[in-house]
Structure 1
């Protein structure tokens, strides 16, 4: 099967024109149409076709995410009801999910067209927030609003009361999301090959104070007590709504909800491991660069000038 249409998912603010031009140049030589959300059409060069979001998912053979992890997660959420391959092109500084750097893009497109890649399946959380349904590939967080009290919540697993939380935020994550907010809150690193739901309180003051790892088969319900402060519900880092005391969340786990394109899984894992280790160093990026040999610093300089900081 050859690819006839590729859909673009763009970072909301960064300049993506140079990357899109590279993709268009490649597409013209391979008789492939390039589509983008019609509301983003003004941000890309001529030759990219406008489309509705539903058309991007239903009629494109694959999606190309141009940005960082947040953009990639948005592309995966778009395809959750109809999973298809999503390739990430990196425009950030420390992305864990995106694999392809701009200089590697032409070769990556060739491999995408010939199906010379592997699929890394991604699970997601499906959550009902006061009857509103949301999807998260990394995490769902209940975060306190400054000056409005703390997150006071009870946890029930398969209908049985498990315990309660009093904390600044409560992070519910997938294994892949364990390197994000959950990790920053002190949660464990979970292999993406594992099926689990991790619940980690941030700045706990009472109640459950450590991470709880649950089976994806268990039904999870979080009830905000009446004395809880108003909380923001964040889905993969984006606030989707606010919930008052008395509100409830029900969380379920869905296997194989996303398909991430991987060209070199081993190298990707090694790079991710290195990036994760850098998070624990109390050094700024420019300080880390000083640790590199002079030849490597010179090689990295042009790349830094082309890509704006996060």
Structure 2
């Protein structure tokens, strides 16, 4: 890697000290500089440089996300205007985006700076959500507030009206987000290599009741109807509006908006296939471990098993 500065994006609440320590010791041995967002300055050693969050991508040759998929999505959003390779280090539970476990981190960092990796390009959804400019690498969701009725909205594509929804939630996702909220709502799994936008209703009561898969150059518009309940608007799981009663969601697919580091793409795909199959099993983690062949359970990290629902 031509430069020598790596940016750290940390999970907002988890204890990241062990992983940061591994990275800091590696950086000291290899003469590399580390930077972190100014708000995380108190969570890292004094040797790590603090910069304003919006400037971190510009200062960095690559970003290291320490946390779960949410942290990884945050790193991708942070760098959307100046995409940099993002290496994910796993502190979550299931984690569909992240490849590296903490014990494997030193070798992963060696490969990162040696350019011994491939880059997986990720698309995002960009546009206006009820007056807010947003970027989402997973999804934008309109969710009903409990006890307040249903999300009721019309769908238009390239200004042509398709129909309406009456449901508990309405999820617009990228291929990356097809394994998240959209999948839980019954939507299809879409290969990350596919360029598409998926609109999926959760618990539909009337109107369009199945997922709609749209082309990447389609202009997607959802408009809340006057009889809609107040909705919570989520972008990649983060609440941006708590009780919207009117407004329009207008989104466009933006390719090559994020760069994800892949060290072993085949193994990554195999693990994700296993994780998806585990999510559909109606078993608690301890029950599932009892079914694994002898010698396999102890090699499977507990966070790779789905938490109790």
TM-score normalised according to structure 1 size: 0.94
Say whether the 8 Å CA contact 1:169–1:201 is kept in structure 2.
Answer: yes
Change (3 A) 1:193 1:299: closer
Instruction: State whether structure 2 residue 93 is matched by structure 1 residue 98.
Output: no
Q: How does 1:119-158 map to 2 (within 5 A)?
A: 119-158=119-158
Matches within 5 A, 1:1-310: 1-242=1-242, 244-299=244-299
Pairs aligned (count): 305
Between the aligned partners of 1:304 and 1:227, the Cα distance in structure 2 is 45
Task: Sort the Cα spacing of 1:204 and 1:40 in 2 relative to 1 into closer, same or farther, 3 A.
Answer: same
Query: Does the CA contact (< 8 Å) of 2:88 and 2:100 recur in 1?
Result: yes
5+ long unaligned stretches in structure 2: none
Question: 1:123 aligns to what SS in structure 2?
Answer: strand
Residue 241 of structure 1 and its aligned partner are, at CA, apart by 1.0
Distance apart, 1:55 and its partner CA: 2.5
CA contact (8 A) 2:233 2:244 kept: no
Extract structure 1 runs of 4+ deviating beyond 4 A.
none
Q: Is the 8 A contact 1:17 1:45 kept in 2?
A: no
Q: Distance in 2 between matches of 1:26 and 1:3?
A: 16
Q: Supply the distance in 2 between the matched residues of 1:272 and 1:49 (Cα, whole angstroms).
A: 34
Q: Deviations over 1:229-267 (max 9, x none)?
A: 111110111111135333111011100000000001111
Q: CA RMSD in A?
A: 1.6
8 Å CA contact 2:36, 2:51 repeated in 1: yes
1:201 match: secondary structure: strand
Query: Following the alignment from structure 1 to structure 2, what is the Cα–Cα distance between the partners of residues 294 and 277?
Result: 20
Q: Give secondary structure in 2 for the equivalent of 1:256.
A: strand
Aligned mates of 2:78, 2:252 — CA distance in 1: 18
Q: Cα offset for 1:136?
A: 0.4
Quote the offset at 1:127 in angstroms: 2.5
Work out whether residues 111 and 117 of structure 1, in 8 Å CA contact, stay in contact via their aligned partners in 2.
Answer: yes
Residues 263-300 of structure 1, C-alpha deviations (whole Å, 9 max, x = no match): 01111011101100101001112222222345344455
Partners of 2:158 and 2:218 within 8 A in 1: yes
- When structure 1 is superposed on structure 2, of 66-75 and 279-288 the one drifting more is 279-288
Report the CA distance between 1:137 and its aligned residue. Answer: 0.3
Deviation string 1:62-100 (CA, Å, 9 cap, x unpaired) is 000000100000000000011110000001121000000
TM-score (norm 2): 0.95
| Partner-residue secondary structure (3-state), 1:209 | coil
1:113 is displaced (CA, Å) by: 0.6
Which stretches in structure 1 are left out of the alignment for 5+ residues?
A: none
Distance in 2 between the 1:267 and 1:66 partners?
20
| Rounded Cα–Cα distance in structure 2 between residues aligned with 1:293 and 1:119 | 34
- Asked whether the equivalents of residues 228 and 244 of structure 1 are also in contact (C-alpha less than 8 Å), the reply is no
8 Å CA contact retained: 1:170, 1:200: yes
Change (3 A) 1:25 1:135: same
Q: Distance in 2 between matches of 1:160 and 1:299?
A: 53
Query: C-alpha separation between the residues in 1 aligned to 2:204 and 2:293?
Result: 43
